[in-house]
Each structure stands twice: as structure tokens, then as C-alpha cells.
Amino acid sequence: MVTLHRELVAHLGGDADAVILETPYGFQVNRDDISNRAREYFRRSVSLATVVAPDTGADAPPSGTPGAADADKVRDLVRRADWVFSGPGSPSYALNRWHTLRLGEILRERVAHGHGVTVMASAAACTVGFAALPVYEVYKAGHPPAWLTGLDLLGVLGLPVAVIPHYDNAEGGTHDTRFCYLGEPRLTVLEHELPDESAVLGIDEHTAVIIELGTSLVRVWGRGVMTIRRRGASVLVPGGTTLPLEQLRDLVAGTQPAVVPLPRRPAETDTDTDEGAGAARHAATAGTGGAATLQEAVAAAELRFDSAQEARDARTMAEAAVELESVIAAWSADMEEDQGGEWARTVLHGMIRRLAQAAGRGLSEPEHTLGRILVPLLGLRRRLRADGAYDLADEVREALAAGGVRLTDTLESSEWRWEGETDDQQTGTRPQA
């Protein structure tokens, strides 16, 4: 998303006031690390200097206290900012905090007045509709599916929707993790609780929906699609499509204009080649088929490693492992709290162990192959010398030397060692002739 972030920032000009809201992950013990990574990402990849608006505690502090002053400062930062970003974490935690601090009101004012740029990603994106999905509670804690009251930032634009990011998630493999880990059965139950005039607005991974308030246009950016779902029936708007905001309102309401064909143009792709996370991923995935996700990159690296091992190509095996390490390092700059990094490292460690086993077999290979024919060859050479066939004995000696075996003749016998091996490195009993 580097290209998109740059495009959004370019609208602001230089020296923009940029704020990162850490609230969705404010409860996590590593929140400072996530915030630092976010600031570094935008600094290096987007050339945007940011400040972090901290999560100011669990309860609204009394007026006149230091805590109240901190909350006022956060509200003022967000109100004045030219650019506001919020991302990964827990939608329910963020909603609770933003309702308590009245930040939801300020964010709605920003959208209603068209002030600056407001970017909501991942967990924060879950909060922008009038209804929000409590992802953690449903998927990780087993709570019954239920909607929370969202910030309704899109309601002021005439879009009564429940926004579900990670709409096409496929991490579950054998179980359904689409719809931000909700799955089809639970989404079916939940959408029946929505008012008739509303809809689910689904946004695929690696995809963004940009609402340009100045032109009243909606643009779908990225590799996936935007889905407008009403009672199980979906309209798909592919990446690269631009449509009027009024048409999106019709799609949400399910009115007749929803069937009007959508204009289409080529989907945008992130083609950055300079410094930053986008460039790092582009370079790191060059040997993995240009994979767009960490999971795809790991799968491509495994396939390349397996093929190289089958072909007994040690160089390519090592390159595949090194490239996977680069991919993991590049994805570690992502602001999501879990992109499968530990799993990817486990795969990498397995590659290294397999490479070590192959190297071990390679190091011992001369002993197990050529070493087994040395005794009969040395015996033949001894008989040739005894019969006076020194020319033939020398040919045997030269053939052994070509295989890396060095012979030392004595009055009684011949001793051998591998080329370059010292006396201290000899192992076991060397055959003599």
C-alpha cells in the first residue's frame, strides 16, 4: 500500500500534521514497538513525519486532572490533523475508548466537513460503519456473534453500512476465515440483524476503498474487490473501478440503479522500487514469484527449495533460504500485529536443518563412495608394482589423485589421505597397501 499512502499524502502538500491513533492496540504490552514501527514505516516509505496520539487510559478522567489534560490534547491533535491513521488491534477496545474520549464525534466531524485525510485500516476499519464486528471476542474468545455500535463515519455520507475488512481472508485453510475471521454461517446470522436499508461493505485484503469527498467519487484500489452484500446477495466492485458516491449509495440501499454496469480500468499495483517496506518486499519476493502476501512468499520459497533439493542443487537451496529470510525481514516492518511471522520462521528453520543435513551428507560423501573402492584399487596397484608394471601402477595413482586422493609410498606399503587433509584431520584407520 506504499503507493496509495504516498498518493493520499501528496494531496496534503508539505509539512502536514500527521497523527497515528494507537488506540486499537493500546492494550497490548508491545504497543510502543508497534507505534515505533508505524512511524518508521511512514517516515521511510511515505516521507511523512508522524506523531502518536496515545491511548490515555481505561476511564474518562475527571475534568481538571492531568489525565483530562492528556485526553484534551489527543482530541485536539485529531481535530487539527491534516492526516489521521489508525490500524491493527481490537475493534471493540478501540470503540470503547473512542466513545469514552468522544473521539468518535471528532472523527465524524472530520468526514462530514471533508477535513484532511482519515485512513482507517484493519481493526480500525471495522469501526467506521454504524455497526461493528467484535473480531477478538467472536473469533478468539468464542462469544456469540453480535454487532457493536460503530462510529458511523460513513453514515454522514449516506452509507448505512457495517464495514468488514479482511473480507477474503484465507488463513484458516481447512476452516472458513473469510469476512475478518467470521465465516459464512456467522455472517449469515449477523446480516439478518441489520436494517433493510443497510448492507455489509466488505473490503478484501491488500485492497482499499477511497472516498474522495471533493469529487464525490469512490475508488477501489488494489488487488481485491469491494463487496456490497445484502441478505446474502453480493455485488462485487473490482479493484481499479471508480464510481460515483451516489451509485454506491444505491448499491447499499439495493435500489434499481445497482444493476448499472460499473466502469472499469486497470487495477493499481504497488510498484515502488526505492527504500521502504514496499521496496523491501518487492526485492525480497523477486525469487518467490512476486508474492503479495507472506503466506504466498513462504509457499513459493518452499517450492523452490524442494525443487532444488530434488535436483541436488545446493546453491539454489541456500538462495531460497536466504530469500525467505529477506521476505520475513521485509514483512516484519508491517504494522499488523501478526502476519504469520513465527510460522514463516519455523519454515525457514526447517529449510536450514534440511540444508545442514544435505551438507553433512555431502561432507561425508567421499568416505562412503570413493572410500569404498580405495582398498581394492590400492591392492591392484600393489600387485602391479610387485609385477614390475610401474607404468600401470602410476596410472592408478594419477586416477586416484584426480579423485582427491594423495598417496604416500613407503618401503612396506602405501598410505593415503584426502587432498588438503592434514595429519590431525585424518579419521579412522586408513587402508594401506
The predicted-structure confidence for 346-365, as pLDDT tens digits, reads as follows 888 988 988 887 776 665 55
Cβ neighbours of residue 361 under 8 Å, at least 6 residues apart? none
Q: How far apart are CA 229 and CA 150, in angstroms?
A: 18
Which residue shows C-alpha cell 469527498?
213
- pLDDT reported for residue 335: 52
- pLDDT reported for residue 98: 95
Q: How confident is the model at residue 274 (pLDDT cuts 50, 70, 90)?
A: very low
The yes-or-no verdict on residue 215 having pLDDT over 90 is yes
**Residue 308 CB burial class (10 angstroms; 0-12, 13-18, ≥19):** buried
- pLDDT reported for residue 333: 59
pTM across the whole model: 0.65
- pLDDT reported for residue 201: 97
pLDDT top residue among 402 and 93: 93
- The H-or-E segment that residue 205 falls in is none
Q: What's the mean pLDDT in 257-276?
A: 48
- pLDDT reported for residue 282: 45
Q: How far apart are CA 401 and CA 191, in angstroms?
A: 79
How much of the chain exceeds pLDDT 70, in percent?
79
